[in-house]
Chain A
Amino acid sequence: MEGAEGSEADDSGGREPVSAASRLTDDLVLQILSRLPARSLHRFRCVSRHWRDLICDPEHRARMAQTLAGFMYIGWSRYDDNNGRSLRFTSSRATPGGGIGGEAAASPPLIDPLALSLPPGFHQRLFRIQCCNGLLLLCAWAPSSRGAFKFNYTVCNPATDEWTTVPDSLVSDTAAAGCTTARLAFDPSSPSSSAYRIFQFQNDGPRTRVSPKVWIYSSETGVWTCRECGWADGAGVVLRDETSGVFFRGKLHLCPSEPVIVSVDRDGEKWWTTPKPADPGDDGFLGAPPGFIGVSQGRLLFLNTPEYNHTKMRVWERGSGLWVPKRSIDLEKVIGGWDYRFGLKCSVVGIHPDRSMVYFLEGKDNRLVLYAMDDGDGETICELGYKNCYLPFLPYVPVFARSLTGRAAA
């Protein structure tokens, strides 16, 4: 009663080809599309007009994998009267006139942080942000306290304008603010997709190098638990807000200044320390920079400059339990001309999750540069301006599914 029964590899021979699409309702097509990675979805816009319309329909965005939209950071703006400081977003696409790969030109930025429904005055009180797979962790001073400043965490999804405050951890005063750093662990593609964890790493004190304790908040239980940090074996590690990190396949990975990459599972039960991959010529004398860790096309990548040559950047890929060197980036191509007198101010801020592209922030004017690894070329996206942005500068992939219950702060 149906048509061809040949496997997908062979042709239907003499029989009439199955018009299988006619048997798949739109809802089923969406069910299938919602299980595809972003790159495939972009490619499949070319399958047919109908598929293009299904994929691009804003009603369906919540179900579709998204790709990099831009970067989130705390910055200053000269033109609004927000005391200048606010959460800011910049698109990762080049400004018109310098389009990347023919993407549609000038559309308004996807996210306008100032239009979010966060409480009044929130932006001025914001002092720290982190981002993980579309959710933001915002750290702000509590509004009412004077003299005894407290801070609290807000988790926000800027694409859906949802936000929720997190109950205070036991470490939330000024002294603590100076020696903690926090990370968000959230994976929208996992089975418990709306659950997230917050890791608050607490140093012994402002000058010590050890992080003996970590507080972990679970959105499922609504409770903070304290755990011993399993990396403190002897020397411990220094973690800062700018420390590069990524949450991937249930583990949080961080690159402290020490020559190790530290990792922990989302429950804070298993802790790992692995040596950072290094150039053969590195001997630890000068000390390498902390490096950058990220995920691209389903693989964990680590980028760092060799100790003795800061004009090159090495890219390593994690596979079968090893770091494998993949390629080198010539930073002189990224910055296109460099005055030796002023030194090389160029740091990696992001790797594109679906393309072989690396983003750098370069120079005193904070020029955002896109480097396409396959072409070996750097391209300016925009200039953020001198002192107009604070690190960390965080890659942002939107999540349109609604998952936060908005418990607004009093």
Chain B
Amino acid sequence: MAAAADSSGDGGTSSGEKTIVLVSSDNSARFEVREAAALLSQTVRRMIDEAGADASGDGITLPDVDAKTLAKVLEYCNKHAPASSSSSAAEAAPPAEGEEDLERFDREFVRVDMGTLYSLVTAASYLKIEGLLNLTCQTIADMIKGKTPEQIRKTLGITSEFTPEEEDEVRRENAWAF
């Protein structure tokens, strides 16, 4: 199995696969993950390219992602990463998961509180992880789909800023949608 997202992890995996160290914004946690998992993030991919041959033993710091969110994001990446291409080791990386299994994982993965969900969607956007961004945006969309504007304002903490006349007008124009 790929190295767990545990700050006390060290070395490579027993199959000798390349790993990457990612560090949370407050420097409080270091995560060692399989390269395939880390590269699901286009941002990480770019950072590695830019660091070039100096690819750090120090790990890559992600200034916009805190430890708790990073741990959760890496849970997603580890699950969704493609299987290792090197099949030499006896203890191979997990085979590419079946689609149904992934769907079930995704459904469970987003059963979190709103605060975590917003952190995840923001992190997915910053890290440019397409699958996670799709999943989190779709989840939020599904949550708000049937709601009234008042409920949306409350859930997302938005102030309407409409004057009473503006509010009347926009409600009237879109009355059919209620």
Residues of B within 8 A of A145 (CB): none
Contact B115 A5 (CB under 8 A): yes
Contact A36 B149 (CB under 8 A): no
> A interface, by DSSP: helix, strand, loop or mixed?
loop
Q: Which of A231-266 contact B (CB under 8 A)?
A: none
Task: State which of A2, A50, A355 has its C-beta within 8 Å of the C-beta of B115.
Answer: A2
- B137 cross-chain contacts in A, Cβ below 8 A: 28, 31-32, 35
Chain B residues, CB < 8 A from A39:
177
Q: Is the CB of A48 within 8 A of B125?
A: no
Are B145 and A31 interface neighbours, CB within 8 A?
no
Min CB–CB distance A39 → chain B (angstroms): 5
Find A43's partner among B119, B143, B166, B178 (CB 8 Å cutoff).
B178
**Residues of A within 8 A of B (CB-CB), count:** 46
- With A44-B149, A51-B158 known, 7 other A-B pairs at CB within 8 A are A2-B115, A24-B122, A35-B141, A35-B142, A44-B152, A45-B170, A48-B161
Q: Chain B's nearest CB lies how many Å from the CB of A381?
A: 15
A45 close to B174 (CB less than 8 A): yes
* Known contacts A6-B113, A20-B114; is-contact A48 B172 (Cβ 8 Å): no
Take A20-B157, A24-B156, A47-B152 as given contacts and tell me if A32 and B125 are in contact as well, using a CB distance cutoff of 8 Å: no
Find chain A residues with CB under 8 A from B133 CB: 31
Point out the residues of chain B lying under 8 angstroms from A45, CB to CB: 170, 173-174
Q: Tell me which residues from 116 to 133 in chain B have a Cβ below 8 Å from any Cβ of chain A.
A: 116, 118-119, 121-122, 125, 133
Closest A residue to B26 by beta carbon equals A1
Interface 9-mer from A97-105, A342-350, A361-369: A97-105
The answer to whether A8 touches B143 (Cβ under 8 A) is yes
Q: Range of interface residues on chain B?
A: 35 or more
A19-44, CB under 8 A of B: which get 1 and which 0?
Answer: 11111110110011101110111111
Contact of A101 (CB < 8 Å), options: B121, B153, B157, B175? B175
Complex partner residue of B176 from A35, A40, A355, CB under 8 angstroms: A355
In the complex, the answer to whether B162 meets A49 with C-beta atoms within 8 Å is yes
Query: Which of B148, B170, B178 gathers the greatest number of chain A CB atoms within 10 Å?
Result: B170
Contacts known (A19-B157, A48-B161); A2 close to B141, Cβ less than 8 A: no
Contacts of A41 in B (CB 8 A): 177
* Inter-chain contact B177/A20, CB cutoff 8 Å: no
- Are B156 and A21 in contact, CB atoms less than 8 angstroms apart? yes
Cβ-defined contact, A102 with B175, below 8 A = yes
The answer to whether the Cβ of B86 comes within 8 Å of any Cβ in the partner chain is no
B138 close to chain A: CB less than 8 A: yes
Contact, CB under 8 Å: B161 / A27: no
B87 at the interface (CB under 8 A from A): no
CA distance A29 to B28 in the complex (A): 30
Instruction: Please give the distance in Å from B62's CB to the nearest CB on chain A.
Output: 15
